[in-house]
Structure 1
Amino acid sequence: MSKRFSSKPFAACVAPCALAAALLCASIAHAGSTAPAPVISNKISDVAARLASPPSDARPMMRWWWFGPAVNNAELEREIRAMKAGGFGGFEIQPVYPMELDDPARGIKNVPYLSPEFLDSVSFANRTGRANGMRVDITLGSGWPYGGPHISAQNAAARLRLATSELPANATSFALPAIMSGEKLIATFVGEGSGKDFDATRLQMVQPEKGSNGRATLKPAATPRVVVFYVATRTGQQVKRAALNAEGFVMDHLSHNAVDHHLKVVAEPLLKAFGDEPPYAVFSDSLEVYGTDWTDNFLDEFKKRRGYDLTPHLPAIFSGKGEDAGAVRHDWALTQTELVNERYLTRIDDWAKKHNTQFRSQTYGEPPVSMSSNRLVALPEGEGPQFRAFSFTRLATSAGHLYGRPVISAETWTWLNSPAFSATPLDMKAEADRMLLEGVNLFVGHGWPYTPPGTLEPGYGFYAAAVFNDHNPWWNVMPEVTSYLTRMSYLMRQGEPANQVAVLLPNDDAYAELAPGKVSLSAALHKYVTPELTAQILDCGHNLDYVDAESILGLGVRHPVLVMPRVTRLSPEVMAKLADYVKGGGKIIAVGSTPSLAPGFVDAKRISEQVAQASKALFASGANVMQVADDASVGPALKAMLAPDLQLSANVSDVGFVRRKLADADIYFIANTSNHDVSATADVGAKRKAAAWLDPDSGKLSRATLPADLKLAPYESRVLVLSDAPLAADVAKRTAAPAVLADLSQDWKVSFPGQAKPVAMKQLRSWTDDESTRYFSGEAVYSKEVKLNASQLAGNRVVLDFGHGTALATTPKVPSGMRAMLESPLREAAQVYVNGKRAGAVWHPPYRVDVTPLLTSGTNKIEVRVANLGLNTLAGHALPDYRLLSLRYGERFKPQDTELIAPRPSGMLGPVKLVGEKIQ
């Protein structure tokens, strides 16, 4: 049987904060859904009352990979109960590729996707999850993007391709391109040149006479020419990581016929499996419909929306040459955004509401969805921890802030510390904190691999992800990890977002630069919202949201300062909104250029003149409007316009923050994102009567004065609470420097599972130093006795200190994703017991546990239960040979970074000390 690592049931690990009496909570309901509303409070007393046990909807979720699918009910139930015990609030069912061939002896049978057997498993998982108080989501497909065997060539993702035929001088006929199923010849152009060298601006559209022999005729010319064909075709992209019988074309996301067919064939059977208890949400992964830029009735839709025929301008779309090419490309790409908005996002969101569920969507990628496209889905989701650069996650959180979506999730820990089974609890925190800084308040972990009983440890792993299930030895601290994530998620939902700076995404400029092959706004905006620009804003003591032309037209600008990075194309209507914004006291910083061009093609000259005039007037309107030369000049301009929201005296770039504003309080989440200590003073822009630090792990408050001393260990986070009412905070202060009461770095007894007697470890060392434990993954128990006298305990707060850890260089290559650049003195997590009673868990800096109430005068027994990585066991045996699996099903995955699989240092490495701190 598989060895797994048990854990105590999930429970929040804090005591309630003693604040004022609880007041009525304000909730924001999910429109059109039977799902429970998230608990949103506008009073600090309400927040404090729930800190001991935050609402379950704030608990992190797990993406649950069903490989094959080949699952059985007994293991499904066991894994659901394990998730709950670990503190997870729900799961998303994601069927993916087979991991093994059928094996009757082990009960492994890959069943077809959407088969009765598969749907029965979905039904069972839903019933069992709900019976255990879990949220249940499901993706409306297998793998990603949506598609499968039901998608014909006519409904497959489409694109426009270019083909050429060279004509010698005096030629009177040419071969037409072969038009296959799902294709259509859109237009034919002729001009001077060759297939590899022609001037697209001088091509002439023709209507040649077509014969029955696959050739067409045209008038001869004295010079060689080229015929250029524009053919509507299909990308041919196949669903990525598909389950058995889910293989096939990716669907056309710009076609209502394709979307409706997918909903009928795939989504309807899935929802029926849920019976009268629909999923909390249905899910769509990131839009990775590579190469798509067309759909069957694109020309008709383009003319209806843009007011002219695109056909004569097709050469400009491909070449980008000609005076009007940018404007035409803008209109071509914008039309794709409108179609994916209407035919995919809105259609599925409406379908979800009709079926009493919600649509959760990662709305970025290809086709070119915009930030404001997120308004069309109930639950926007981001991906990526790049809080100091352009971020897909910030697209989702900004839309949530603008359009009133109180819960904003993120796919988290994708590719974390590759290869699989290398990720640590500290890695989880390091990335999660960056997500919180971007505005995320629900974590969807990536992920949890279903593993059949009897599988060689450490079990299955998804090809491109870390593993967060109970096959991980450090599962022993998972309840503490999820407790932290739950509490911070809950806090970051309260009140309203309070970012002070908005950055205008230059969508119209980006549209004008897009070309066939990769039509993606989110991929193009990096050049405008640069890391330097983002850093300038953050390092001035502000956090930021994105806005776009669409949100400005619909909502105006609500932030005190708007930054416009190299914006040249804007409509007169948006310019008018900006003028109103400045008249109302808003401030603008334009970087590098000011608007001067119409966004699109029709009547562009007249509209450009309007834009240029409006821009000239706006930037001559006074001190509230400023133009700077480059990104490096944004910081000084911003400082002149707006006082910092959080001002630090030092280490600005290593510390991030995000603020939530309540009616009677402000909550600042502050995180050190670096691998070194930070010591600074902190002052805030929000003014309240009282201030306190809230410890994210314990929930305890300690008195703060502003400016406050801010001391953060590597990757440590804290919460600053400002309140109009007095805060019942601990006012105890340390009166003397910490003193070492006992050095415990030597002479431990270490018990490994299955060993007859403990190992005497005179000097602390890694388990990998010994041949017998080099490939051991699991939990070992360190025990030691220490004598203390009454004078050592009197008036002291006593902590068990495991050391500082070792900072790594910040520049070594991380194969995939990110990791914390710090090696723990405990590899990788521990539970601490004193005299038989649990003192606490150790899994992130500072590596200390308060043991004061458990110590007695005399002999004390210290027990540290240390757990390492599953990677060590994986390194001790040969990796699976997937040759037969690939021959049977095709190569659907390649395990990542397997050359890096090797045992990692494990155990308690020291130094270990009992430290006393005099407290009054």
Structure 2
Amino acid sequence: MPLKTIFLFVLSLFIFWPLTPDKEEVKKPEDWPEITQTAKPWTRWWWMGNAVDETNLSSLLTNYQESGLGGVEIAPIYGAKGYEDRYLDFLSDDWLDMLDFTINKAKDLGMGVDMTQGTGWPYGGPQVGRNEAASRMIIQDYSLKAGGKLNSPILFQRKSERQPMAELIAVMGYNDSGAAIELTEYLDAQGNLNWEADGDWDLKAIFLDKTGQMVKRAAPGGVGFTLDHFSKSAVDAYNQYFEEKMASKDFDIRAFYNDSFEVYGADFTATFFEDFERLRGYDLKQYLPYLESEENSEMVRRVKSDYRETINDLLISNFTRNWTSWAHSQSKLTKNQAHGSPGNLLDLYGAVDIPECETFGSSYFPIPGLRRDSADIRNVDPDPIMLKFASSAAHIKSKNLTSSETFTWLGEHFKSSYSQMKPEVEQAFLAGVNHIFYHGVTYSPSDVSYPGWLFYASLNLTQNNSLWPHFNEFNQFITRSQSILQAGNPDNELLVYWPVYDVWAEPKGKMEMITVHAVDEWLHSTEFYQLSSSLMEAGYSLDFISDEMIASSKAVQGNIQTSKNNQAKVLIIPETEFMPMSTLEKIIQLAQNGAKVIFQSKPKSIPGIHQNQGALQSSFDQLWASLNFQNGVSQQGKGNITLSDKISETLIKQGINREQLVDAGLDFIRRKTVNETYYFIANHSANTVNQRINLANEAETVILMDPLTGKTGVLNSVLSAGQTSIDLYMKSGESIFLKLLEKDVSTQLEEWPDYSEIQGTYDLSENWKLEFENGQPELPAPMQMDVISPWTDRGNVAADNFSGQATYSTTFDFDKTEGKSYLLTIDQVYESAKIKINGEYAGGIWSIPYQLDISAHLKDGQNTMQIEVANLMANSIRYLDRNHIEWRNYHEINFVNIDYKPFDASNWKTMPSGIGGKVKILEF
């Protein structure tokens, strides 16, 4: 076996197999899973201008590792002006030396490295010639009257003299009777058409043109045309270029990464018509008037469906699978964002090693006290169902990791806090994401003054961010969470079919780009979306499944097994207009072998155009009729198919239990290992939950695990009739994990404290001292506060301008009772706090609710408390802009605000900073 093949096999075992402890290792029931490199959050790492050097690479990677990051994804990008002498050309020998140094340094630190296979986005560069560049179909129309001839030659009509000539592919003629004829052979070298019309004809000249799109935000050495993703020869040449450039060493990166499909106007490739006829069985040129039309007619919809399916086939075979196969030959993995592409997202995500989704914008959560200023957010709400396309593909294909480009434009620059990030990342967890990548961290050398180099789009997480010294607290929360979310296998009971042919049959436009920003057009209005949303709201967990994924599934012991480590109990087909005959046949076969299937209604038709259309449709209808439903049920061998528009009621009849915790306003996702079931539960409602909850799993022991602190404890539980009941207390904004064990080990473990009934309150709001320790633009003088309060809006200009860290301190007498629990609560933290009690670090408070159990650190008698607060960068950036201090000067887009307009913070109001409201210790 070749060395690269062995390496890839071993690497895949490490990354994709469920994380289980070594047999000889003694694990305690309350222990968290092993913390791996992938359990830690990673980050996209913008290399601005490729202006990197060994000294800064070393110090920055060390800083990242100490802050809790598990790896970096190198993304070369445009650079800062005035530093051109430091720029390195992408893939030059000097650049490759820096890549090699980065990989080795990261390896020494226990970190991983991914890299995008290009600069900026999408794939492209100077190596992409016109033949390999993104292409489009241009159609020029002409008319011929009976007996007439064209008076002018058929030549490509350029918009300017600088525009290259496009290649003529064919000339077609169409008459009112529906006849179509190819006339290319009648064209001479000068473009004259030597053909006399017999009747009136509309002519269409088809040209292969180039979009002219260049790589967006390209780095030095990366400027060039965008790649033709639909051409295998173009993709092969692109991959070969990288193989040759990187052949000098075995660069031990983990994965090549591809960003979302932003190849604008690309809808064609040189071999498209031949590929179409091979795949669809007819000549598309005969039907071009239907492809151009937007009439809501059956023929238009069927032709467009076939066209879009062919585009999908070329993208997935010539780029995605081809690229992944090449990466594997280089002992590398692939990580891909399928969204934005003109294809079946599920199959595209499933064709790579690590599917990646993206959170773009800010979600609304009704959590009291959570800041969400409409002026600081984009008019885009991340949709959890959109995120589930990536995780579904990972689950269906038994790929253990689903990554996410996280926090893209979460808020305006310098105004996003950890408290805002937490529910957003939890929403991604609930959608099946378990491998967080921050967007992002910018490489910034030590000699660049504050705020350092910054990428034009938020979120700006860099070592210069005033929140950075507290970053490790946030990273530990994600690490603990992902250690569980990467353990075992997903535990989703339902599969919901995505009717992609209904999407492809949309009569408007030519391409159908499945983008994050157009979900209102292709997703929200569909029955698939409505049904999936209602099932999740009812307490069912589900994955989406494609026709291709159904084709590779099998029925095993009454379940539907989609791959080695994934199975579900029921396949649900929402209201669907188009379904291939092969899919219906496979569904019936699954039922005959023991699967349960529910159709919301009869699929109306097979998609596309076929030579024997009527006979195929008749066969489809006959196959459906053969199901012979009796009272809505068709028995099929060992299984059954149900026809019902009341899906939830049908699931109950089939014994598929929902999770009742959703009735309390809670959200959840589950994972299963050999001996354990894990629940991740988040309270994103506006209310405190304090009630008995029934879990749809059996357990003798239930352990609550707090990802914020790492603390664990046993909950009182009762097992009855296949369900486990627990008393659950969760404030708005809290999230927890539950570990369900089959054995009763509760007597070996500490109980989780009951925080539902306060037995005493100690108000510590008076007599505090505040000292400023580190920050910009200058350190204000210390303050003495009779009552603790923010350091802003007190008439102190230096404090209003300050971004950094400052410490509140006090001394207090306390009567501690053994056996009691003590919770420190703060009404408002602006924005992150580290707590010390009697000189010992007790933990961080940075998310709603602002609280921390400090029982272990209090003592009877006199105590000291220090609260180190890190605020946002906003106030210091405002100071820079008000004083006309230049800090942003970049090539390309430079630096823009959330509305993509020139950034200016000079008119911002002061952002509150420090501690607000009461500081209390609650006794339980």
Specify the TM-score bucket, using the shorter chain as the normaliser: 0.7 to 0.9
Amino acid in structure 2 at the alignment position of 1:508: Y
Q: Secondary structure at the match of 1:447?
A: strand
- AA aligned to 1:749 is K
Query: Match for residue 499 of structure 2?
Result: 506
1:511–1:521 contact (8 Å) kept in structure 2: no
CA distance in 2, matches of 1:264, 1:297: 21
2:852 corresponds to 1:849: yes
Cα shift readout 1:481-531 (whole Å, capped 9, x = no counterpart) = 212211211211222211011110112232333765533356635543655
1:487 and 2:487 aligned: no
Which sits farther off after the overlay, 257-266 or 225-234? 225-234
The gaps in structure 1 that reach 5 residues or longer are 1-27, 193-198, 804-824
Structure 2 matches for 1:633-644, cutoff 5 A?
Answer: 633-644=646-657
Q: 2: distance between equivalents of 1:202 and 1:656?
A: 58
Point out where structure 2 has 5 or more consecutive residues left out of the alignment: 1-5, 158-162, 364-380, 555-559, 562-567, 634-639, 718-723
Question: Does 1:911 pair with 2:918?
Answer: yes
| Matched residue, 2:663 | 650
**Secondary structure, counterpart of 1:768 in structure 2:** coil
Which residue type is aligned with residue 229 of structure 2? H
Task: Give the counterpart of 1:380 among 355, 358, 365.
Answer: 355
Partner of 2:58: 77
- The residue that corresponds to 2:270 in the other structure is 296
Amino acid at match of 1:776: F
| 1:744 Cα deviation from its structure 2 partner | 1.5
Match of 2:801 in 1: 775
Choose from 827, 832, 844 the match for 1:829. Answer: 832
The letter of the residue matching 2:290 is A
Letter of the 1:853 counterpart = A
Q: Which residue of 1 aligns with 2:535?
A: 537
Which residue of structure 1 lines up, in the alignment, with residue 463 of structure 2?
Answer: 470
Q: Report the more deviating stretch, 57-66 or 39-48.
A: 39-48
Q: How far did residue 638 of structure 1 move?
A: 4.1
Report the alpha carbon displacement of residue 378 of structure 1 after superposing the two structures with TM: 2.0
Residue number in structure 2 paired with 1:677: 688
Q: Is 1:476–1:830's contact at 8 Å kept on the other side of the alignment?
A: no
* Residue 453 (structure 1) shift: 2.2
Out of 799, 808, 826, which is 2:823 matched to? 799
Alpha-carbon distance in 1 for matches of 2:524, 2:912:
38
Name which structure has the greater RCO, CA cutoff 8 Å, separation 6+.
Answer: 1
Deviations 1:562-619 (A, max 9, x none): 2222322222222122123334554434345524325542422222112222223337
SS at match of 1:865: strand
Q: Give the superposition deviation at 1:872.
A: 1.8
1:790-845 Cα deviation digits (max 9, x unpaired): xx434432222112xxxxxxxxxxxxxxxxxxxxx101111111111111111113
For 2:314 and 2:728, how far apart are their aligned partners in 1? 50
Distance in 2 (alpha carbons) for counterparts of 1:35 and 1:882: 50
Against the structure 1 CA distance between its residues 248 and 131, is the aligned structure 2 distance closer, same or farther, given a 3 Å change threshold? same
3-state SS in 2 of match to 1:793: coil
1:89 pairs, out of 70, 73, 85, with 70
Structure 2: how far apart are the matches of 1:736 and 1:361? 45
Paired residue secondary structure (1:877): helix
Secondary structure of 1:188's counterpart equals strand
Could you tell me whether the CA contact under 8 Å between 1:798 and 1:915 is conserved in 2? yes
The 5 Å alignment of 1:200-211 reads 205-207=182-184, 209-211=186-188
Instruction: Give the deviation of 1:235 after TM superposition.
Output: 2.1
1:258, CA displacement in angstroms? 1.2
Q: Distance in 2 between matches of 1:439 and 1:732?
A: 27
**Whole-angstrom CA distance in 1 between matches of 2:628 and 2:423:** 42
8 Å contact kept, 1:34–1:357: no
Q: How does 1:325-404 map to 2 (within 5 A)?
A: 325-384=300-359, 389=383, 391-404=385-398
Q: Does 1:700 align with 2:700?
A: no
The aligned counterpart of 1:177 is 155
Deviations for 1:654-704, whole angstroms, at most 9, x for unmatched residues?
Answer: x22111122222111111234543444321222232223222232412223
Distance 1:517 1:302 in 2: 15
Alignment match, 2:117: 140
What residue in structure 1 maps to residue 171 of structure 2? 188
| Shift in alpha-carbon separation, 1:904–1:893, aligned structure 2, 3 A | closer
Which residue type is aligned with residue 618 of structure 1? L
In structure 1, distance between residues paired with 2:436 and 2:762: 40
Aligned residues: 846
Instruction: Please name the residue that 2:401 is paired with.
Output: 407
Amino acid at match of 1:71: V
- The letter for the 1-side match of 2:910 is P
Q: 1:853 to 1:384 in 2, by over 3 A?
A: closer
1:881, 1:115 → 2: CA distance? 35
- Aligned-partner SS, 1:58: coil
* CA distance in structure 1 between the partners assigned to 2:579 and 2:28 by the alignment: 42
Name the amino acid aligned to 2:820: N
- Mapped to 1, the partners of 2:114 and 2:733 lie a distance apart of 31
The CA RMSD measured in Å over matched residues stands at: 3.2
* Cα distance change of structure 1 residues 514 and 625 upon mapping to structure 2, 3 Å threshold: same
Equivalent pair of 1:165/1:228 in contact (CA under 8 Å): yes
Is 127-136 or 166-175 further displaced after alignment? Answer: 166-175
Is 1:126 equivalent to 2:150 in the alignment? no
Q: Which amino acid aligns with 1:646?
A: E
Instruction: State the one-letter code of the partner of 1:670.
Output: I
1:551 to 549, 572, 577: 549
Distance 1:366 1:563 in 2: 26
Change (3 A) 1:206 1:566: farther
- Give the distance between the partners of 2:532 and 2:127, measured in 1 at CA: 44
1:413 aligns to what SS in structure 2?
A: strand
C-alpha distance in 2 between matches for 1:777 and 1:881 = 16
User: Is the Cα contact below 8 Å between 1:306 and 1:602 reproduced in 2?
Assistant: no
| Cα drift, residue 100 of structure 1 | 2.4
Displacement of 1:912: 0.6
Write the distance in 2 (CA, Å) between the matches of 1:364 and 1:682. 37
Paired residues of 1:781 and 1:863 also in contact (CA < 8 A): yes
Deviations 1:709-767 (A, max 9, x none): 33322321111221111234323654993244421223211111365862012233333
The residue aligned with 1:742 is 762
Indicate the residue corresponding to 2:582 in structure 1. Answer: 573
Amino acid corresponding to residue 116 of structure 2 in structure 1:
T
CA distance in 1, matches of 2:888, 2:750: 63
Match of 2:38, SS?
helix
> Matched residues in 1 for 2:503 and 2:87: separation?
45
CA gap of 1:529–1:283, structure 2 versus 1, over 3 A, is farther
Report the Cα distance in structure 2 between the residues aligned to 1:490 and 1:748, rounded to whole angstroms. Answer: 39
Identity over aligned pairs, percent:
27
CA contact (8 A) 1:587 1:625 kept: yes
In structure 2, C-alpha distance between the alignment counterparts of 1:200 and 1:449, rounded to whole Å: 62
C-alpha contact (below 8 Å) 2:140/2:204 kept by paired residues:
yes
Change (3 A) 1:53 1:366: closer
Question: Is the Cα–Cα contact under 8 Å of residues 62 and 90 in structure 1 kept in the other structure?
Answer: yes
Q: Would the aligned equivalents of 1:664 and 1:724 in 2 still touch at CA under 8 Å?
A: yes
Matches within 5 A, 1:593-742: 593-618=602-627, 620=629, 622-623=632-633, 625-627=641-643, 633-648=646-661, 650-652=663-665, 655-697=666-708, 698-705=710-717, 706-727=724-745, 728-731=748-751, 734=754, 737-742=757-762
Q: TM-score, normalised by structure 2?
A: 0.85
State the SS of the aligned residue for 1:783: strand
What is residue 13 of structure 1 aligned with on the other side? none
Contact 1:112 1:118 in 2 (8 A): yes
What TM-score, normalized to structure 1? 0.85
For 1:498 and 1:404, the matched residues in 2 are separated by 12
Q: Do the aligned partners of residues 666 and 281 (structure 1) sit closer, same or farther apart at CA in structure 2, a change above 3 Å counting?
A: same
Secondary structure in 2 matching 1:328: helix
